[in-house]
């Protein structure tokens, strides 16, 4: 996709797109606007599209903005978008993350079973259950 539809405006700032980025739900926003929108919410959760409430896990900058990368302001926005994509984009990382968490949780579960005087907090049990179920 080259860029947002002609005559369309960013639905956050209601102005012409600056460093337009397309979200995985196909809506376009200024790179800066959608980053600011995300910073209003929790950092470690992907933001939801202000238009369709779809969870945004990928932002794809338009080709025109990629060509403007020499402009430091544009480069900064693009860097933030890449960071966002690394945090929330792609399922593979999510699965790997869960695998990394699992040994820690299982070790903890084992330790708790060996020392039955301390009962395992329900939250940890639930987390192990969820981690095992989702693999
Ligand atoms: Zn905007
Ligand atoms: Zn959307």
CA 94 to centroid of ligand 1, rounded, Å = 30
pLDDT tens digits for 95-133?
Answer: 555 555 566 667 767 776 666 555 556 666 667 667 766
* pLDDT, position 72: 95
How far from 79 is each of 50, 65, 132, CA to CA, in Å?
Answer: 22, 12, 35
Please give the Cα distance from 36 to 32 (Å, whole number). Answer: 6
Instruction: For the chain, give the number of residues.
Output: 135
Crossing angle (nearest 10°) for helices 91-114 and 122-133: 140
Where do the domains of the chain lie?
A: 20-89, 92-133
* pLDDT, position 42: 84
CA 125 to centroid of ligand 1, rounded, Å = 44
CA 133 to centroid of ligand 1, rounded, Å = 40
pLDDT at 15 over 90: yes
- Give the number of the ligand closest to the Cα of residue 37: 1
- Rounded (10°) CA dihedral 116, 122, 123, 125: 60
CA 95 to centroid of ligand 2, rounded, Å = 25
* pLDDT, position 124: 66
Element at 35 (helix H, strand E): helix 31-40
* pLDDT, position 100: 59
CA 44 to centroid of ligand 1, rounded, Å = 22
* pLDDT, position 34: 97
Question: Encoding tokens for residue 55?
Answer: 């969870």
Indicate the CATH number for domain 20-89. Answer: 3.30.40
Confidence (pTM):
0.66
Strands 59-61 and 28-30: unpaired
């Amino acid at each position: 996709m080259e860029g947002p539809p002609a005559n369309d405006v960013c639905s956050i700032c209601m102005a012409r797109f600056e460093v337009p980025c397309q979200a995985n739900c196909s809506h376009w926003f200024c790179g800066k606007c959608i980053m600011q929108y995300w910073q209003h919410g929790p950092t470690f959760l992907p933001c939801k599209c202000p238009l369709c409430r779809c969870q945004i896990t990928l932002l794809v900058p338009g080709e025109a903005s990629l060509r403007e990368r020499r402009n430091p302001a544009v480069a900064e926005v693009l860097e933030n978008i890449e960071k966002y994509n690394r945090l929330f984009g792609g399922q593979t990382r999510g699965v790997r993350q869960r695998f990394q968490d699992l040994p820690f949780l299982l070790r903890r579960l084992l330790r708790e079973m060996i020392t039955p005087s301390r009962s395992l907090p329900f939250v940890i049990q639930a987390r192990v259950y969820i981690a095992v179920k989702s693999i």
